[in-house]
Structure 1
């Protein structure tokens, strides 16, 4: 059986090297390249056409969700496995919507990552046990998956990350290359989706939340 060729995209060198070592010790896999950014991952995928890209969501510049969409466009035969510290189902949902075949968190075991790689290579979708358990709890508790945090767009999550760091609307606009008015619209929509009354309530929510808005 031919080895499954893998491209690893993660902005942490040690993470990439560790994954490469682990994967290359298994006869089913061979890591053909590593990347520290979304843009570089796209170029490598175009050139190498790997069977699978292990794609971290939080990458500098173009994030993993956007890079996934581009890789699926330029190398449609390549399967994408999303990986992140984020355990909110909304991240997994957005990755799948953009073309990923699977999603695992960084809490997942080596065995589960191997299982995910084999499943998506065979054409099946794979969601890790941690995410599935969270989804099950939401269903049991009656939580609306399309409300609150799960209703936030990737851009809104990015803006929350900037707010968490104390950036003003103008600073956010400059960083994301959008208008201040657009940032204000996003902030309004965030308040509405999170059922918060004002900016002070949003800051309080972010500061008291245990959720990971950035990596």
Structure 2
């Protein structure tokens, strides 16, 4: 298997799950600043020109959430649950995250980390305020839900946890008001116990985006 990645948000979840599962994977760094994601050979793998992408034999997959589900299933791991009802619950959280928490936390990540990285200037205060407001709204939903639950599916760690939490390692550096949500913090602290979560990216000589 080959996992094409950059040191940015969506690939982080794919690299974290791959590392947690200990799968034999060749990691291929895609330099976004050099436009490697737009090269014809890469577009043949992922026509969207995005990262991550996974090549597993004859199969190519793009979209990080699909990739982490595939990796968990490939490893026959409980990260992809056996029960159909739990699988539906995973899909619920993946969908919720993409439309809500990830969307607005990702805006803060863009304003504070990506803009200076690519030379687009300082964070826009109005966009920051808007994104923080939505972050609070959706983190509040997550905070209430996590009361009495260890993980999103209850007692069982799943790919949903890796996906929904992926912006939180950048909370401090991207001005996400995470400290207002103790249950979310407690849940994320559990993920921080895993080396694959804390340090998901393969070692390289230079780093593309500063880590939290």
TM-score higher than 0.5 = no
TM-score, length basis structure 1: 0.38
Question: TM-score, normalised on structure 2?
Answer: 0.38
Q: Which has the larger radius of gyration?
A: 1
